Amino acid sequence: MFEKPQVEHSWLEPLLGDWLMETECQMGPGEPTHQSTGETTCRSMEGMWYLLEGRGEEPEGGRWSTLMTLGYDAKKSCYVGTFVGSMMTCLWQYTRGVIKAEKKLILDAEGPRFHGEGMTSYRDSLELIDDAHWILASEILTEEGEWHQIMTSHYRRKT
């Protein structure tokens, strides 16, 4: 039962460490843009799972915290994970994660529509810029069938 990390797990290693984060979020066309700053720490569970624990404060006041898990499922041949945040009640489950152009991990998820009833598709991407910078971006599939970017976070390594 004790599985070993695969070569695919090593793609996540550059995320290890302590990061300063700047986020810009806009939940839809015409909606106000929200900005936030925080810190994230990424640690590994023996190279099998990567845990990214974030925390910060909104400019308007109020603290927030997040936890993202990422790993590679060898049986499904894809990256998987979860995301929870203190600002929402949804447990996000990442499925069918694939690497694009060796620098970007694309993760699919399903979650509630922010405007209206029901569920819709989301897509989060982690892009490795260099050893000291990576970007997390989130997109929502609109009712028109187009992807709309709702959030971009820049992570810069703490020195």
Checking if the pLDDT of 60 tops 90, the result is no
DSSP the chain: ------GGGGGGGGG-EEEEEEEEE--STTPPPEEEEEEEEEEEETTTEEEEEEEEE-TTS-EEEEEEEEEEETTTTEEEEEEEETT----EEEEEEEEETTTEEEEEEEEE-SSSSSEEEEEEEEEEEETTEEEEEEEEE-TTS-EEEEEEEEEEE--
Can you tell me the mean pLDDT for 108-116? 86
Residue 15 banded pLDDT, cuts 50, 70, 90: very high
pLDDT band at 50 (very low <50, low <70, confident <90, very high): very high
Task: Give me the chain's average pLDDT, please.
Answer: 92
Q: 34 or 158: whose pLDDT is higher?
A: 158
Homologous superfamily of domain range 7-25+34-157: Calycin beta-barrel core domain (2.40.128.20)
- Which range among 30-34, 61-65, 69-73, 84-88 shows the weakest confidence by mean pLDDT? 30-34
Average pLDDT over residues 26-36: 79
Q: Where along the chain do its domains lie?
A: 7-25+34-157
| 2 vs 154 pLDDT, higher one | 154
For the segment 126-143, what is each residue's pLDDT rounded down to a tens digit?
Answer: 999 999 999 999 999 988
Q: How confident is the model at residue 28 (pLDDT cuts 50, 70, 90)?
A: low
